[in-house]
């Protein structure tokens, strides 16, 4: 899928299924140094979506050969019908990109999965609309159509935002989305507002497609809704116990990749385009520039997670009957493998 010489030598980009992943992954232990060159340790990582700029640090580290330098042979796998968290819990993957709203319910259901780094420091979600529709704040959604995936989290977020801003959530119409192409939905009047990620959809619609759009950024309303980590990098407690050196090496190199993506977003864009040339080059370049200031406050602090963010989000989910069972949130995350914390 790529003609990039370094990525091609170090990573296989393929459709992710449990069967394929089981053949190339599993819990692995780091190999102790010796006089003879050690065989690289195989490591598999499952994406949470098709390759995009949220993964730019991973692809930049691959392009620079940093995983191989650390003794790791990294295989990148796109998600299939089985989620990355399920594969982690089954011992069929080593790492996975995921989200806090997926990891906490998985833990509550018995999957001992653990977040080892926050890919983006704060939630970069927004509600996006055409500026002409006059949706400038949550209460402006009254009488409007929200394009919905039909999840309980969506309903809770929209209701909390509108009510907190003095509006009536019952006056917001939840219209099922028929496509992930928000440009079509907005311009063909299928809905008035939708939940998007600024780094991709807001950049695409506003900067690339040149539509006049407005956003209500979640990060501007954290007094009404909680912050949470989306995406994050996860592994399993079993993998941490069995191969702490491998986990440490992978997280360390990945952190280096994201720090480099913050310092040189064009290099990150080039690495992603080499791995996924089907992407829109203009969008990738603009998106990596936007994310360079969002991954973390500083490159050195990339990945660091806050206890308050996890506990407040978990409690908010539980209070809204979105989270059933105890996720044992204290064990849901760790900063132990981030060099900045050592």
Q: Give me the CATH number covering residue 182.
A: 3.40.190.10
**232-236/125-130 β-pairing:** unpaired
Q: By three-state DSSP, how is residue 34 classified?
A: coil
Task: Between 133 and 30, name the one with better pLDDT.
Answer: 133
pLDDT at 56: 98
The residue segments making up the domain with residue 336 are 5-122+229-341
Q: Are both 244 and 291 inside the same structural domain?
A: yes
Residues 255, 138 within the same domain: no
Quick check: 85 pLDDT over 90? yes
| Domain count along the chain | 2
pLDDT digit string (tens) for 244-285?
999 999 999 999 999 999 999 999 999 999 999 999 999 999
pLDDT at 197: 96
Taking the C-alpha atoms of residue 93 and residue 239, their distance in angstroms, rounded to an integer, is: 9
On whether both 136 and 78 belong to a single domain, the answer is: no
Say how far apart CA 180 and CA 191 lie, in whole Å.
Answer: 12
* b/e sequence 179-202, b meaning 16+ C-beta within 10 Å: eeebeebbeeebbbbbbbbbbbbb
Confidence of residue 8 (pLDDT cuts 50, 70, 90): very low
End position of a domain, from candidates 220, 244, 262: 220
CA 140 to chain centre: 29
pLDDT of residue 15: 34
| pLDDT at site 33 | 54
pLDDT digits (tens, 9 = 90+) for 33-78: 556 668 999 999 999 999 999 999 999 999 999 999 999 999 999 9
pLDDT digits (tens, 9 = 90+) for 170-194: 999 999 998 889 999 999 999 999 9
Whether 71 and 106 map to the same domain: the answer is yes
CA distances from 250 to 66, 69, 109 (A): 10, 11, 27
Q: Pick the last residue of a domain from 171, 195, 220.
A: 220
Task: Write out the E strands in 103-183.
Answer: 113-118, 125-130, 145-148, 173-176
Residues 110 and 241 reside in one and the same domain: yes
Query: In 10 A of CB 151, how many CB atoms?
Result: 12
Write the CB contacts of 45 (distance below 8 Å, at least 6 apart in sequence).
58, 74, 75, 76, 77, 93, 94, 95, 96, 97, 250
Judged by DSSP in three states, 286 sits in helix
Q: What is the mean pLDDT of residues 115-121?
A: 98
108 and 139 fall within a common domain: no
The rounded distance, in Å, linking the Cα atoms of 146 and 108 is 30
Residues in CB range of 298: below 8 A, 6 or more apart:
none
So what's the pLDDT on residue 23?
Answer: 35
Residues 11 and 117 in one domain: yes
**Bridge partners of residue 197, in order along the sequence:** 125
Considering the domain architecture, whether residues 80 and 139 belong to the same structural domain is answered as: no
Verify that 235 and 114 share a domain, yes or no.
Answer: yes
Q: Are residues 187 and 325 in the same domain?
A: no
Q: What is the rounded distance in angstroms from the CA atom of residue 306 to the CA atom of residue 196?
A: 24
Residues 234, 264, single domain; the answer is yes
The average pLDDT across 128-139 equals 98
Q: Are residues 197 and 301 in the same domain?
A: no
pLDDT, tens digit (0-9, with 9 covering 90-100), for 288-303: 999 999 999 999 999 9
| Final residue belonging to a domain, choices 198, 220, 242 | 220
């Amino acid at each position: 899928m790529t003609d990039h010489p370094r990525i091609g030598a170090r990573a296989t980009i393929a459709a992710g299924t449990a069967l394929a992943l089981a053949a190339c992954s599993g819990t692995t232990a780091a190999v102790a140094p010796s006089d003879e060159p050690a065989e690289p340790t195989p490591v598999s990582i499952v994406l949470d979506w098709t390759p995009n700029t949220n993964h730019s640090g991973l692809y930049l580290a691959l392009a620079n050969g940093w995983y191989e330098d650390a003794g790791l042979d990294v295989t990148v796998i796109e998600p299939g019908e089985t989620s990355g968290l399920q594969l982690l819990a089954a011992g069929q993957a080593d790492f996975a990109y995921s989200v806090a709203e997926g990891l906490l319910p998985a833990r509550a259901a018995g999957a001992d999965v653990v977040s080892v780094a926050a890919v983006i420091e704060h939630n970069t979600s927004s509600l996006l609309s055409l500026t002409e529709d006059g949706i400038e704040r949550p209460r402006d959604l009254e009488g409007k159509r929200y394009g919905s995936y039909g999840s309980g989290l969506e309903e809770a977020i929209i209701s909390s935002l509108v009510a907190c801003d003095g509006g009536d959530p019952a006056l917001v119409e939840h219209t099922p989305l028929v496509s992930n192409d928000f440009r079509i939905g907005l311009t063909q009047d299928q809905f008035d507002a939708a939940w998007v990620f600024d780094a991709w959809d807001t950049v695409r619609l506003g900067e690339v497609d040149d539509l006049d759009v407005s956003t209500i950024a979640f990060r501007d309303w954290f007094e009404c809704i909680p912050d949470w980590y989306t995406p994050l990098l996860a592994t399993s407690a079993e993998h941490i116990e069995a191969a702490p050196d491998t986990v440490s090496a992978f997280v360390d190199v990945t952190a280096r990749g994201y720090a480099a993506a913050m310092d040189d977003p064009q290099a990150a864009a080039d690495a992603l385009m080499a791995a996924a040339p089907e992407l829109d080059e203009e969008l990738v370049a603009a998106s990596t520039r936007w994310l360079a200031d969002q991954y973390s406050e500083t490159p050195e602090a990339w990945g660091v997670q806050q206890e308050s963010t996890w506990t407040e989000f978990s409690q908010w989910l539980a209070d809204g009957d979105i989270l059933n069972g105890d996720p044992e949130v204290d064990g849901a995350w760790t900063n132990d493998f981030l060099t900045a914390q050592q």
